[in-house]
Amino acid sequence: MNTLRAGQAVSLRGRRPMQLRLLDGSGSAWVTRTGSSSTAFPPEDLILVAGQTLHLGPREHWVMEPAAAHAVRYQWK
């Protein structure tokens, strides 16, 4: 389990398929997939809420930050 406090951001990138899951009882998070002309992944913004899972493909790069003034707890596996 990891905790991301309000005002912080984390960069998430995997070499294999990965899962980002916001834990139950956690707040919401804003996640952004960064786009690149060298990848097939366009930029994308999402809001995740507690209990949701985002499946990330290999070589995708996402940045996550809390969507409100509360910390979020998450798993990255």
Q: Quote the CA–CA distance of 24 and 40 in Å, as a whole number.
A: 32
Q: Which two tokens stand for residue 70?
A: 């509360």
Give 44's pLDDT tier (boundaries 50, 70, 90).
confident
Chain length of the chain:
77
Give 22's pLDDT tier (boundaries 50, 70, 90).
very high
| Residues 65 and 9 sit within 8 Å (Cβ to Cβ) | yes
Q: Give the rounded percent of residues in the chain with a pLDDT score beyond 90.
A: 66
| Residues 62 and 51 sit within 8 Å (Cβ to Cβ) | no
pLDDT at residue 33 greater than cutoff 70: yes
Q: Domains in the chain, start-ordered, CATH in brackets?
A: 2-76 (2.60.120.10)
Full-model pTM: 0.85
